[in-house]
Amino acid sequence: MKVKTILLGAAVASGLFAASVSAQTIGFSQVGSEGDWRPAFSADMQSTAEEMGIELKFANAQGRQEDQLRAVRAFIAQQVDAIIIAPVVVTGWDQVLQEAKDAGIPVFLADRDVEVDDPSLFVTRISADFNLEGRLAAAWLAAESRGGCNIVELQGTVGSAPAIERNSGFMAVIDQFPAMEIVATQSGEFTTEGGKRVMEAFIKSTDNLDGICAVFAHNDNMQLGAIQAMKEAGLNPGQDVLMISVDYVPAIITAIEAGEANASVELRSAIGQFIYPVVLEYLANPTELEKWIVIPSDLHTAH
Amino acid sequence: MNQKYWPLLATITVFIALFVIGGSMYNNFLSTLVLGHILADNAFIIIAAIGTTFVILSGGIDLSVGSMIAFVGVVMAVLDSAGWHPLVTIAMMLAFGFLFGAFQGFIIDYCKIQPFIMTLAGLFILRGGCFMVTLDSVPIKHPFVKMMASTRVPLPGGGFLTTGAMVMLASLVIAIIIAHYTRFGSNVYAIGGDRESARLMGVPTRKTTVLTYATGGIYAALAGVVYALYTSSGYPLAATGAELNAIAAVVLGGTLLTGGVGLVAGTLFGGMILGLISTLIIFHGSLNSAWIMISSGILLFVFIVMHRFLIGSFGRQKLS
């Protein structure tokens, strides 16, 4: 079981490190450029490195593990000071990480995890915690509804890590409140169409959301679909029913400003400010770190 | 010097030139470590490309290579979880590759089907097969695989040869012997040069075609074994598009896509050039990864045009 720690104040500290540490060369092997989140993450890693005076070697593996292994070996040959990997898959890392270790280059993981026999092959994993996002959403809802709320849930793709973790984090908090309950839950596959379809079904099965106080969606896209379905049924999302979701994409910001959604938990893409300070501090002072450093989630509401 | 060695010479010259350019641009580039990495990281592509060389020499094409690599990997991984010894599964998968290739070759010859479409079917069947076996990446945990994967033969200057690289070099030697010193080898060149003349001269075309695709299949399966050792796992999405890289390696190595002309040894350097290009771009560190494909594409284009002028005439001489 991994110990979780929350890294607070890292953003503040990043400014200090930029001034005090001489230029370090870091290799970063990224998965690819799928979706909206990952290219934003790549761009942030590059711009933050520039701001902090880090020489970044960036390699995009285009979703192929063989390209990623090639990139990591090229970083080793170049004798970079540290390597950051956002792995394509969890398996197959033992040899190349051993080679990095033999060359005395510390490896950090961003985003996804790896399965290795020897946990000392990487220093730590720095990523967001889906479970924490679920807990944060539930905590906001508990405060907002004074601990009494019938909730409908739009789940992500069944079996995916974000869907499992956001649900279990959410459940862990609402279990503390006897008057809070999920009365209906179904998968909307993380898509706008899926969210709309599921919400239309919920509206019928609950007689126009009678007695429902909140909608929790595992991502903003499904929530946007749900808002559409509710408006078409003549309901007032954001006023009659509390709307909370995860991701904080531009479209949900507009919806929050229009009063049709109430809150969104941000899945940050600007996480270079959390990752680099950990790497730089380790390079300056190599000590054993926790195996998972959690990037804090942020909650955005209308006011 | 014999004209048939000109394309190989051009390939080797480009390889050395790229290596020296890299050395002049970056520290630590001109080293046995980088050379060892290129051999290790591209071993599976080069092995697959060696098999593809036979197929292309015979005038055909094999698109099922990448899917075969992934299929061999996932079956090895799943049977490993079921407790099978890796040597047994390796032998079984090599036999499977041979038979699958032979089947493709037989259908191509017997039904007079375009090799492109037959092996495209093979590509779909095997990739679909991967997804039937597993959807996740499955680790291979047997101590034998760990031992093979971590074995390193040191080279002077800090580099090393991995098991995959050594298997690749050994399979290259075997392929050179088959291509240039056996009756089967000369038959492949003969049917690739002119199938009808070869048949009239008494070359057993069906047997040669079946054996050619079987050779392609067993080399693709061997590439799958090396890939599975390389990552110690099986992954159904592994090596997507590897067949196209293999074809590119064959063409860069000086083999004509029309068949009948080329050398197996060229494929080694063709594959290493592709690996060298991506290493050069990754070393730079801030170039967009898209440049790997763009520069490989430009180089491929230059090579096919050059082949046209360099050996176009001697290709025809050979036929007359």
CATH of the domain at A33: 3.40.50.2300
Q: Does residue A162 belong to any structural domain of this protein?
A: yes
Question: Is some CB atom of chain B closer than 8 A to the CB atom of A116?
Answer: no
Question: Nearest 5°: phi and psi at A298?
Answer: -120, 150
Whole-number average pLDDT of chain B: 92
CA A297, chain centre distance (Å) = 8
Q: Does residue A283 belong to any structural domain of this protein?
A: yes
Average pLDDT of the residues in B209-234: 96
Q: Do A65 and B29 touch (CB under 8 A)?
A: no
Q: Does residue A301 belong to any structural domain of this protein?
A: no
Q: Do B149 and A95 touch (CB under 8 A)?
A: yes
How close are the terminal C-alpha atoms of chain A, in Å? Answer: 38
Q: Order of strands across the sheet with A4-6? A: A4-6, A292-295, A124-128, A107-110, A82-85, A25-30, A55-60
Distance CA A255, CA A140 (A): 18
Are A169 and A240 in the same domain?
yes
Instruction: Measure the CA angle with vertex B144, ends B140 and B148; round to 5°.
Output: 90
Q: Do B231 and A65 touch (CB under 8 A)?
A: yes
Q: Do A95 and B150 touch (CB under 8 A)?
A: yes
Query: Which residue type does B152 have?
Result: R
Kindly indicate the confidence band of residue B311, based on its pLDDT and cuts at 50, 70 and 90.
low
Q: Between the CA of residue B117 and those of B62, B97, B113, what are the distances in Å?
A: 9, 18, 7
Q: Do A65 and B235 touch (CB under 8 A)?
A: yes
Average pLDDT of the residues in A90-108: 93
Helix (H) or strand (E) holding B234: strand B233-234
Average pLDDT of the residues in A261-289: 94
Distance CA B65, CA B242 (A): 7
The pLDDT tens digits of the residues spanning A209-267 come to 999 999 999 999 999 999 999 999 999 999 999 999 999 988 999 999 999 999 999 98
Distance CA B283, CA B29 (A): 8
Are A276 and A200 in the same domain?
no
Q: Between the CA of residue A53 and those of A22, A66, A286, what are the distances in Å?
A: 8, 30, 20
The domain total for chain B is 1
Tokens of A256: 């929050």
Say which DSSP state B161 is in.
E
Q: Helices B6-25 & B290-319, crossing angle to 10 degrees?
A: 160
Tokens of B23: 């050395």
pLDDT higher than 50, residue A21: no
Distance CA A121, CA A27 (A): 16
CB A248 within 8 Å of CB A287? no
Are A104 and A164 in the same domain?
no
The pLDDT tens digits of the residues spanning B125-153 come to 999 999 999 988 899 999 999 899 888 99
CB B141 within 8 Å of CB B148? no
Per the listing, tokens 């790497």 go with A279
- CB-nearest partner of B279 from A57, A62, A70: A70
- CB-nearest partner of B41 from A61, A69, A92: A69
Q: Is A299 exposed, middle or buried (0-12, 13-18, 19+ CB in 10 A)?
A: middle
Nearest-CA distance from A75 to chain B in Å? 7
3-class secondary-structure state, position B142: coil
Percent of residues, chain A, with pLDDT higher than 70: 92
Tokens of A183: 């009365």
Residues from chain B that touch A64, judged by Cβ atoms under 8 A, are 240
How close are the terminal C-alpha atoms of chain B, in Å? Answer: 21
Question: Nearest 5°: phi and psi at B282?
Answer: -65, -40
pTM: 0.82
Are A159 and A278 in the same domain?
no
pLDDT at position A77, please?
93
The pLDDT tens digits of the residues spanning B92-129 come to 999 999 999 999 999 999 999 999 999 999 999 999 99
Average pLDDT of the residues in B244-273: 94
pLDDT at position A148, please?
95
- Domain interval for residue B66: 3-319
Are A283 and A206 in the same domain?
no
Are A151 and A31 in the same domain?
no
The pLDDT tens digits of the residues spanning B261-291 come to 999 999 999 999 999 999 999 998 888 888 8
**Which chain B residue is nearest to residue A31, measuring alpha carbons?**
B289
Instruction: Measure the CA angle with vertex A199, ends A175 and A163; round to 5°.
Output: 50
Please enumerate in sequence order all residues whose Cβ is within 8 A of that of A12, keeping only pairs 6 or more positions apart, or say none.
none
The DSSP annotation for A2-43 comes to: --EEE--SHHHHHHHHHHHS---EEEEEE----TTHHHHHHH
3-class secondary-structure state, position B59: coil
Per the listing, tokens 């010193």 go with B181
Q: Does residue A251 belong to any structural domain of this protein?
A: yes
Residues from chain A that touch B279, judged by Cβ atoms under 8 A, are 70, 74
Please enumerate in sequence order all residues whose Cβ is within 8 A of that of B60, keeping only pairs 6 or more positions apart, or say none.
B108, B115, B209, B212, B213, B259
CB A71 within 8 Å of CB A59? yes
- Domain interval for residue A72: 4-122+269-296
Long-range CB pairs of A197-201, under 8 A, 24+ apart, other chains included: A197/A225, A197/A229, A198/A154, A198/A222, A198/A225, A198/A226, A199/A152, A199/A154, A199/A225, A199/A226, A199/A229, A199/A230, A200/A229, A200/A233
Are A176 and A226 in the same domain?
yes
Q: What is the CATH classification number for the domain harbouring B32?
A: 1.10.3470
Kindly indicate the confidence band of residue A6, based on its pLDDT and cuts at 50, 70 and 90.
very low
Are A261 and A285 in the same domain?
no
pLDDT at position B318, please?
47
Nearest-CA distance from B102 to chain A in Å? 28
The domain total for chain A is 2
Closest by CA to A264, choosing from A142, A173, A133, A175, is A133
pLDDT higher than 80, residue B319: no
Nearest-CA distance from B232 to chain A in Å? 5
CB B151 within 8 Å of CB B162? yes
Tokens of B47: 């092995």
CB B9 within 8 Å of CB B314? no
Cβ-based neighbour number of residue A131 at 10 Å: 21
Distance CA B19, CA B99 (A): 39
Closest by CA to A182, choosing from A158, A152, A208, A209, is A152
Are A52 and A111 in the same domain?
yes
